[in-house]
Chains A and B, each alone.
Chain A
């Protein structure tokens, strides 16, 4: 048994100094002055004790792209960042588009990863726009959602039929919105930096038009649609309006969208080449405001590790890789809590509770007796300087390079076992 003493425990509506007793892999008891007999004691005085973080948009590269990230390095990175559950976009090789692959990858994950890595199935066969994949079979094999693989399905007829078909099971549909035609080989936001650097831009409309399309297509269907990695101010407006009447519409944004703008890309800085592109100050402000008002349900890491050789090259062909599992939470804490936009309870909702509710992950996302003992101890008194050289991930680069943040991930506990402890 483990007992976490005197931590500032983040409960559903409040933060309170409490003890947590962990027995086997469950949270056994929460209370004051719990008996310490026969327990391993973790002193958490002055530290936050939070439910383990859940990332809704993270890329798994194994099988197929182990050189970019394998299961081991991914799970190490997750633990170092405080994540205990990752929900992965299915762009592996082979693509997660049938039951056999789901079973194979799930078994592999169980053997090789401490972190609970869950899979989305891909909506279309091979990720191509010809037919949709066997979602029902994959559902039985254990996928927790269906994703378009961070690539919009442009064939509206196919997509509409897929949504109709999806009414037969209760799985959230994770859609990434970017119109390929409007994107037209663009590589960054269609704004002044695109002009200054002679690069082709991706207009906001590329995102907004698909968000609007998907909202319309899902309107009269009994499905849960989740919009992932939104970036535009006007997308926020669309979703705000739609969420006033519809329950089964949710969305997330990536952490770097709250920090950086197109100006950071200036001078062909490929670390800041991401998908969707970094936009303008007004978009950043709108996203933060949307978080405050509850329009945005979750903040994701958008971790998409790519080889450094494909990242540090000429801007047009450089990859849109992001390495952010190890920075996402600390950056979010600094931006949202320390700048007084939201409080710690709301931050935990963004990073843990809301994802677990959207994806219906029972026993996760909340510190509650009987829940799985996935816990993060976060020390707000120390500082962390971001140095990608020491990343556990194979993708050793970061947009947050050399930035110093308040707070440090102290301990990560998964299934009642301490899997990470900061030095």
Chain B
């Protein structure tokens, strides 16, 4: 594995599988009474959440504790530290702290890769603007792997806001690498035609997108106000793009529905589908913790396997 984990674009198929397998090992570790292992003993993780993300932050905190590393969280002070927006100043400051890992969520695209160029520590991207969020995408991949066994030849429909969603981009890059056939679907203002350059199919008709699909990924919408000039209303959105039983009838009979982030029940996915799908009852936090442990471990050991 390379020094950093900032993008799904340049991660190979083997590396993704390696991370997912390691995460499964870590997950079984979490079931033990004694959860702490000294894999990262003596190492320091610095967390910078210029944008808030409670779930990712919590899982990194837990992962750090279980791996017995030191943790410095700079996020709490972010409201006073506007210079955190400036990556050059930030990296200068961070470099002096001599951390081993930097976990960052930042509102600007490309910020993680710029930071990675400027520091010697390993940078883990938890979201850079609307560009990528490879860490969160791994969670989706873990879920698909669990229910579908693999990725080759899978038909995946990605429904929702792709344009403003960094997890969606990472999902698409990874699925493309893993050999899945991806179709994007959503209103044209949220799924521009130019995304065909990512090697995916685009359709505005949800039934066509879902037709024969093995996996349906729902990408979450932001708050209503965000879409003022992009959508007439969320009501109209849900009439076409809500994932409900009628839509699922076009999909493969054992298709799964995946959603991560804050689910807008009844707008993005219908209540019935939520109840009927096991994926929604997946333990996102413990999966997340296991994944983050795996990432930290692999980066520390430059891709070595456990045991």
Please report A residues at the B interface, Cβ cutoff 8 Å. 190-192, 194-201, 267-268, 309, 312-317
Interface size on B, residues (CB 8 A): 23
| B88→A316 contact, CB < 8 A | no
Which of A194, A196, A197, A314 has the most CB atoms of chain B within a 10 A radius of its CB?
A314
The smallest C-beta distance from A233 to any residue of chain B, in angstroms, reads 16
> Taking A198-B166, A200-B130 as contacts, is the C-beta distance between A314 and B194 under 8 angstroms?
no
| B131→A198 contact, CB < 8 A | yes
Question: Is residue B169 within 8 Å, beta carbon to beta carbon, of the partner chain?
Answer: yes
The smallest C-beta distance from B136 to any residue of chain A, in angstroms, reads 14
* Cα(A402)–Cα(B241), bound, Å: 51
Question: Is residue B147 within 8 Å, beta carbon to beta carbon, of the partner chain?
Answer: no
| B87→A313 contact, CB < 8 A | yes
Q: Which 6 A-B pairs have the closest CB atoms?
A: A198-B131, A192-B197, A268-B110, A198-B109, A316-B108, A315-B110
Q: Which of A198, A314, A317 contacts B130 (CB 8 A)?
A: A198
CB-based nearest A residue for B129: A198
Question: Is residue B111 within 8 Å, beta carbon to beta carbon, of the partner chain?
Answer: yes
> Taking A312-B88, A314-B87, A317-B85 as contacts, is the C-beta distance between A195 and B111 under 8 angstroms?
no
> Taking A196-B9, A198-B131 as contacts, is the C-beta distance between A316 and B109 under 8 angstroms?
yes
- A-B residue pairs in contact (CB < 8 Å), sample of 16: A194-B194, A195-B195, A195-B198, A196-B9, A198-B129, A198-B169, A199-B130, A199-B131, A268-B113, A268-B114, A314-B108, A314-B111, A314-B114, A315-B110, A316-B108, A317-B108
* Cα(A190)–Cα(B86), bound, Å: 25
CB-based nearest B residue for A313: B88
The smallest C-beta distance from A306 to any residue of chain B, in angstroms, reads 15
| A190→B194 contact, CB < 8 A | yes
Q: Which residues of A contact B129 (CB under 8 A)?
A: 198-199, 316
> Taking A268-B113, A314-B114, A315-B110 as contacts, is the C-beta distance between A309 and B131 under 8 angstroms?
no
Question: Is residue B100 within 8 Å, beta carbon to beta carbon, of the partner chain?
Answer: no
* Cα(A195)–Cα(B193), bound, Å: 10
| A195→B114 contact, CB < 8 A | no
CB-based nearest B residue for A193: B197
* Cα(A69)–Cα(B156), bound, Å: 54
* Cα(A98)–Cα(B129), bound, Å: 42
Q: Which of B124-148 contact A (CB under 8 A)?
A: 128-132
CB-based nearest B residue for A201: B194
- Interface 1/0 per residue, B1-29 and A, CB below 8 Å: 00000000100000000000000000000
Q: Which of B86, B108, B195 contacts A315 (CB 8 A)?
A: B108
Please report B residues at the A interface, Cβ cutoff 8 Å. 9, 85-88, 106, 108-111, 113-114, 128-132, 166, 169, 194-195, 197-198
* Cα(A315)–Cα(B108), bound, Å: 8
The smallest C-beta distance from A377 to any residue of chain B, in angstroms, reads 42
CB-based nearest B residue for A191: B194
* Cα(A314)–Cα(B90), bound, Å: 11
Q: Which residues of A contact B198 (CB under 8 A)?
A: 195-196
Q: Which of A190, A191, A309, A314 contacts B110 (CB 8 A)?
A: A314
| B88→A198 contact, CB < 8 A | no
The smallest C-beta distance from B288 to any residue of chain A, in angstroms, reads 22
* Cα(A192)–Cα(B197), bound, Å: 6
Q: Which residues of A contact B85 (CB under 8 A)?
A: 314, 317
> Taking A197-B131, A268-B114 as contacts, is the C-beta distance between A315 and B88 under 8 angstroms?
no
* Cα(A199)–Cα(B130), bound, Å: 7
The smallest C-beta distance from B128 to any residue of chain A, in angstroms, reads 7
| B86→A313 contact, CB < 8 A | yes
CB-based nearest A residue for B106: A314
The smallest C-beta distance from B100 to any residue of chain A, in angstroms, reads 23
Q: Which residues of A contact B110 (CB under 8 A)?
A: 197-199, 268, 314-316
CB-based nearest A residue for B170: A198
* Cα(A268)–Cα(B109), bound, Å: 9
CB-based nearest A residue for B132: A198
Q: Which of B9, B88, B128, B197 contacts A309 (CB 8 A)?
A: B88
CB-based nearest A residue for B113: A268
| B197→A196 contact, CB < 8 A | yes
* Cα(A197)–Cα(B169), bound, Å: 10
Extra inter-chain contacts (7) besides given A198-B129, A312-B88, CB under 8 Å: A192-B197, A195-B198, A196-B9, A199-B130, A268-B114, A313-B87, A314-B110
> Taking A198-B169, A313-B88, A314-B87 as contacts, is the C-beta distance between A192 and B194 under 8 angstroms?
yes
* Cα(A314)–Cα(B114), bound, Å: 7
| A195→B194 contact, CB < 8 A | yes
Q: Which residues of B contact A315 (CB under 8 A)?
A: 108-110, 114
* Cα(A316)–Cα(B113), bound, Å: 13
Which of B109, B132, B197 has the most CB atoms of chain A within a 10 A radius of its CB?
B109
Q: Which residues of A contact B166 (CB under 8 A)?
A: 198
Q: Which residues of B contact A314 (CB under 8 A)?
A: 85-87, 106, 108, 110-111, 114
Which of B87, B108, B131, B132 has the most CB atoms of chain A within a 10 A radius of its CB?
B108
Q: Which residues of B contact A316 (CB under 8 A)?
A: 108-110, 129
The smallest C-beta distance from B59 to any residue of chain A, in angstroms, reads 23
* Cα(A200)–Cα(B107), bound, Å: 13
Q: Which residues of A contact B87 (CB under 8 A)?
A: 313-314
* Cα(A414)–Cα(B232), bound, Å: 61
The smallest C-beta distance from A31 to any residue of chain B, in angstroms, reads 58
Q: Which of B86, B114, B128, B197 contacts A198 (CB 8 A)?
A: B128
Q: Which residues of A contact B109 (CB under 8 A)?
A: 197-199, 268, 315-316
* Cα(A313)–Cα(B128), bound, Å: 14
* Cα(A195)–Cα(B130), bound, Å: 10
The smallest C-beta distance from A314 to any residue of chain B, in angstroms, reads 5
| A195→B88 contact, CB < 8 A | no
The smallest C-beta distance from B11 to any residue of chain A, in angstroms, reads 15
The smallest C-beta distance from A77 to any residue of chain B, in angstroms, reads 25
* Cα(A316)–Cα(B114), bound, Å: 12
* Cα(A354)–Cα(B93), bound, Å: 52
Q: Which residues of B contact A192 (CB under 8 A)?
A: 194, 197
* Cα(A344)–Cα(B108), bound, Å: 45
* Cα(A194)–Cα(B163), bound, Å: 11
Q: Which residues of B contact A313 (CB under 8 A)?
A: 86-88, 114
The smallest C-beta distance from B232 to any residue of chain A, in angstroms, reads 18
